[in-house]
Each structure stands twice: as structure tokens, then as C-alpha cells.
Amino acid sequence: MSFKNVRIEDCADVRPGFSAKSAIENDPKGTLQVITAQHIAKGEVYRYDKDHSRLIIPPKFYEKYLVTAGDILFMSRGISNHAVLIESVPNPTIAPLSFFIMRPKQNVLPEYLVWYINQDMMKGKLNEIRSGAGTPMISSKEFRELSIPLPPLATQKKIAALWRLQMHEKQLLQQLANETERLNQAIGRALFLNSNHSKG
């Protein structure tokens, strides 16, 4: 496979998220949506849901923290560092400081970049640059300088398609597991009710 090694900063613009002075609480008068870590799941794309609503009054100079569809959020805080592709968000939406906001460049598919950052071989590199005793974090400078392979766009598209299929399979398996559990509980309740009725 033909590819070249490049730095992450050659693949995407990397910006820190918004630093709030206190915990971000929903403000009914707010007009700016904030993505929170609790709604981000590793290995899945992020699609906004009305239950995710977390609105604030826009601070000054919030534009540099804006997130749009096609961007990537990288969890830079804690020990579970991973990337998530943004598929849909309200306009405007920002991300907090716990994330790096990544905007892929023209020669890079966001799906490929998310896929590679989440590969097991990247865990070692991320472990090496993670620091901090209280809340471990990844340095923005060191993260941008990490080297990754960048194949031709045609190869990126094939990998992206495979990644999408893998995610779809995961969703179907989860739906099957949920339905199996629902049926299991329903049968159990029916047997319990019938048993009590027979005793009566």
C-alpha cells in the first residue's frame, strides 16, 4: 500500500475547546449549544439529539470554538483518549476544553482520520505524551506533531467505507441484543403472571 508519513497537523487544523470558568449549565435564554463529553461515545459518530440540549449565552470570541458537521472531536482529557466524527450539530455549536477540535484538510477524509486515531497502535503513542497526575491530559503541541500514515484519497475512501460498515454492524448487533433482552423480560413477566394466576 502506498502512503506517506505526515504529522497530524498536516492532516487537520487542531484547536483547543472552550474554557468555561465554571460548570456548564443549561441556560433557557442561551443560544449557543455546547457538546458535552457525556454524549460522546468512542467508535460512534456524533449526531445531535434534542436530549443533548445544553445552551449558554455566547461568550466573546466564541467563533474559534465552533464545531460543524465533518469536524472531529478528540478527547484530550483523562485516560480514554479517542476521536469522534461530528455528523450533525445545531448552528452554532461549540466544544469545551476537554476536546481538541479538528478540521480535516482537503486531502484528508475525516472518517479515515477518526479511524486511524482510534486504532490500537495509536494508544501507545498517546500514552507516551499523556501527562498530569490529577486529570491526565494530552498536550496539544505534542498531539499535532504525532506522525500517522496518509494513503492516497482512493484508499482513504475504501477504509472510510469499511469503517462505516463496521459501525452499522455494531448498531445492528446492539439492536439485536436489546430486542433479545426485551423478549426475555417479556416472557419472564408472562410466566410469572400466569403462575400467580394459576395459584389463585
Residue among 24, 91, 4, 89 nearest 50 (CA):
89
| Predicted local distance difference test score (pLDDT) of residue 24 | 80
Distances in Å between the alpha carbon of 103 and those of 66, 68, 171?
10, 9, 26
pLDDT beyond 80 at 136: yes
- Taking only the tens place, the pLDDT of each residue in 6-59 is 999 999 999 999 987 777 888 888 999 999 888 888 878 999 998 898 999 888
Q: Which three cell numbers stand for residue 161?
A: 467505507
State the average pLDDT over residues 120-125: 90
Domain chopping of the chain, boundaries: 4-152
| Predicted local distance difference test score (pLDDT) of residue 1 | 62
Residue among 109, 116, 200 nearest 156 (CA):
109
- Taking only the tens place, the pLDDT of each residue in 147-189 is 999 999 999 999 999 877 877 666 666 677 778 888 788 787 7
pTM: 0.82
pLDDT beyond 80 at 144: yes
| Predicted local distance difference test score (pLDDT) of residue 119 | 92
To which CATH superfamily is domain 4-152 assigned?
DNA methylase specificity domains (3.90.220.20)
At 121, the amino acid letter reads M
